[in-house]
Amino acid sequence: MAPADLLRPLEGQREETMRVINSMTEEDLETSVRGDGRSVRQLLCHLIDREHGMNFVISRALAGEVVHLSQEDRDEISRAEADPAPAWDLGRIRRELMEARDTLRQTFRSMSEEDLDRPLRWPEWPARSIRTSIPYMLEHEDSHLDELRTALPQLRAS
């Protein structure tokens, strides 16, 4: 199986995420998602940010570098996530999600089968290679989609 083929589950998850987003209104973006006060907009921007972050870490692994984040680096990321999300509308969020996925797809298309076993570190996940990070990427988006559906009951059928 070619590395790009391993993205099929992520592609299916993104299609589901896009169906949910396409059923949302601009007003839904300000809805609180969970107890920490994050809005739907912030959660969607978080998904975009994390996908770009994973692509960066994978790209560095392909270049032979394993990115290690110190506790200070992690704290800085957490502070940045607490900042308000960009004032993007649904159209911009859709485009950004698709662009992030396109960038990841390009990275995977450039890989060989052997590249999948390159070492990788992502602070929150026990995955230790590019290959083993894919299920965590899938679960990450899926769990946030569940949060969206909980916050916006009209989306539960989506």
Q: What does the pLDDT look like over 42-58, one tens digit per residue? A: 999 999 988 998 898 89
- Phi–psi pair at 156, nearest 5 degrees: -60, -30
pLDDT higher than 80, residue 92: yes
Q: Given this model, what pLDDT does residue 27 score?
A: 94
Average pLDDT over residues 21-34: 92
Q: Given this model, what pLDDT does residue 6 score?
A: 85
Which residue is it, tokens 């539960």?
156
Residues 52, 57, 63: CA angle, nearest 5 degrees? 125
Output the furthest CA–CA distance in the chain (Å, rounded). Answer: 46
Cα–Cα distance for residue pair 94/37, rounded to 1 Å = 22
Select the more confidently predicted residue: 74 or 102.
Answer: 102
Lowest-pLDDT range of 4-8, 12-16, 78-82: 78-82
